[in-house]
Amino acid sequence: MVERRLQHSLRRGSPHDLNDSCRYVLSGGGKRLRAVLVLLGCRAVGGRVAQALDAGAAVEIMHNFTLVHDDIMDSAPARRGRPTVHIRWDSNNALLTGDVLLGTAYEVLLQTRRGDLRQQLELFTAALIEVCRGQALDLEFERRRDVSVREYFGMIEKKTARLIAMAVELGGMIGGGTSRQRDALHRYGHYLGRAFQLQDDLLDVVARERELGKTIGGDIIERKRTYLLLTALERARGADRRALEHLLRLPASSPALRAGAGRTRTVAAVTAIYRRYGVLEDTGRLVRRNTDRALDALRTLPPGEGRTMLRWLAERLVGRSS
């Protein structure tokens, strides 16, 4: 249902490059997690899935807008196993593609015929602004050497968790949920989003490249201030500490960061430091803890298929490999 709605939202014809790139983005697959969360949030409070389909597609389109622009900022060569838009076309087209996707997201959300549309738009827009603020913090952190783990969590709560929390709460809003039920859905999404981002950080190091759909160790090469890197910096001593500090000082043009043997050695060396200081295991425990908090939030909701599916989804995300 989501896939059909996504394809129905796109225009064809002129300008061909722009329309083709928009279709390219939305045909790239992915988990459609945020769209599904809108539908399940609606179902969990007694609503019908079809009532939230436009909103689910809108959230998914907005999410893809953020990915297109993030890939430009990160100079990412691949997304979901395919060249990114700015690589396949160019950066100008990629910027316009993101802009059109965002406009399309609002266009699709406006088709929702259930609930208070103004309230839905306010929730949607507030989340969009927070996601952009989170991305700005992520970029700012790359220039700083004093980022704390606490600041990291503040950043991912904006960049990742807020959109997921908005998605499931939006579904509850459309389904006619009470304020208490909507709050429970928001808390579920908040902790699920934290767990999801921590798992993403972990997979960047331990996943298989073919399953992940992008280059392994990308966060290390980009010097992203992930939970793994920040925790390692807090714990490492001696040569390990100096190696991490040296990594942060390297210019982007350094052979140690470019594709090839230098990059492979850098990723392997940092991963080895993570293993020595128990960072990978600690991250896994945090994924589980946040997932458990998400599951606890569901107790407020009435028993039924929607709540059961939200529980199932959270458990599936803990064990994912991509």
Distances (CA, A) of 289 to 99, 243, 284, 285, 293: 36, 30, 9, 6, 6
Residue ranges with strand state E in the chain: 78-79, 82-83
Q: Classify residue 312: in a domain, yes or no.
A: no
This prediction's pTM:
0.91
Number of structural domains in the chain: 1
Among 193, 233, 241, 66, residue whose Cα is nearest residue 201: 193
Taking the C-alpha atoms of residue 200 and residue 317, their distance in angstroms, rounded to an integer, is 10
SS (H, E, C) 67-115: HHHHHHHHCCCEECCEECHHHHCCHHHHHHHHHHHHHHHHHHHCCCCCC
Q: Classify residue 138: in a domain, yes or no.
A: yes
Q: Classify residue 285: in a domain, yes or no.
A: yes
Strand partners, 78: 83
Taking the C-alpha atoms of residue 262 and residue 124, their distance in angstroms, rounded to an integer, is 43
Query: What CATH number is associated with residue 132?
Result: 1.10.600.10
Compute the half-sphere exposure of residue 110: CA atoms within 13 Å on the CB side of its CA.
7
Task: Per residue of the chain (322 residues), give pLDDT as tens.
Answer: 998 899 888 888 789 999 999 999 999 888 899 999 999 999 999 999 999 999 999 999 999 999 999 999 988 888 888 999 999 999 999 999 999 999 999 999 999 999 999 999 999 999 999 999 999 999 999 888 899 999 999 999 999 999 999 999 999 999 999 999 999 999 999 999 999 999 999 999 998 665 655 678 989 998 999 999 999 999 999 999 999 999 999 998 899 998 889 999 999 999 999 999 999 999 999 999 999 999 999 999 999 999 999 999 999 988 776 6
Strand partners, 82: 79
Distances (CA, A) of 152 to 141, 163, 224, 226, 262: 9, 17, 10, 7, 28
Q: Classify residue 309: in a domain, yes or no.
A: no
Q: Classify residue 57: in a domain, yes or no.
A: yes
281: left (phi over 0), alpha (psi -120 to 50) or beta: alpha
| Residue 78 CA from chain centroid, whole number | 16
Q: Classify residue 322: in a domain, yes or no.
A: no
Q: Classify residue 240: in a domain, yes or no.
A: yes
Give Dmax (Cα) for the chain: 61
Taking the C-alpha atoms of residue 268 and residue 270, their distance in angstroms, rounded to an integer, is 6
Domain residues for 216?
2-8+17-301
Q: Which amino acid is at 160?
A: T
Q: Are 156 and 197 in contact (CB under 8 A)?
A: yes
Strand partners, 83: 78
Q: Classify residue 295: in a domain, yes or no.
A: yes
